[in-house]
Amino acid sequence: MLNVGVLVSGSGTNLQAILDKIGEGTLPIHISTVVSNNQRAYALERARQNAIEAVCIRKKDYADADEYEQALISHFKDRNVELIVMAGFMVILGKSFIRAFYNQILNIHPSLIPSFCGDGMYGLRVHEAVLEKGVKVTGATVHYVDEGTDTGPIVMQKAVDVLDADTPSTLQRRVMEEAEWVIYPEAIRQIAEGNLMIENNKVRRRHP
C-alpha cells in the first residue's frame, strides 16, 4: 500500500476529500503523516480525528530556508513516505526538497494549466483572473511538482463551466466540489495502483 505524506497550511478540504475516499475503501493508500507550517491549521485536526500523525513544522523556527527544507526531508524520509501530496501548502519548496522527492510530489491547482497559473496565482486570485478574462470554462489540474511554478507533468484535469452570476468565491467553491475533490483522490489512486508513468515530461497510462 502506497505510503503518503501530506503538506497543508489551511483547513484541508482536499485532505478531507482524500480521507473520505480512503474511508469508502476506494483509495488504497496509507497516510502516515500530515504536516503543516501553521499550528492552527484545521487540517491537523482532521488528521487527528482519523488517527493520523499531525505535525507542525514552521519555517520561522529554522535559521534559513535550506535548514527548514532539510527538516521536512528528514521528517518524510524517516517515515518512508513514497508520495507527498500538497493540499494547499503555502510555502514555496526549493530545489533541495524537490530533488529529494523527484516525481514523488503532487499538487492541485484551481485552473486548467497552462491557463491562470504561475507565480502569484493561487487561491481566490486564480478565480478573480478567470472572471476578469471572461473565459467560459475553468477547472482544476493535478500535476507533479518540479522546480518551476505549476510547470510539472500534468496527471489529470477536469473542466468546470463559468457561470454569468459567478463571483470569485462561488467559482472557487464549485471548482473544488466539481473538480478538485473528484480528480485529486482519483489521480492518487491511479498512482497507487501503478497505472501511470512519466515519459518525456508527460504522464501516460501504462499499457496492460
CA-derived radius of gyration, the chain: 17
Q: Give the sign of the dihedral formed by CA 3, CA 143, CA 43, CA 16.
A: negative
Residues with catalytic roles = 109
Q: Name, in order, each residue with C-beta under 8 angstroms of 30's C-beta and a sequence gap of 6 or more.
A: 1, 2, 3, 4
CB 161 within 8 A of CB 136: yes
d(CA 34, CA 11): 12
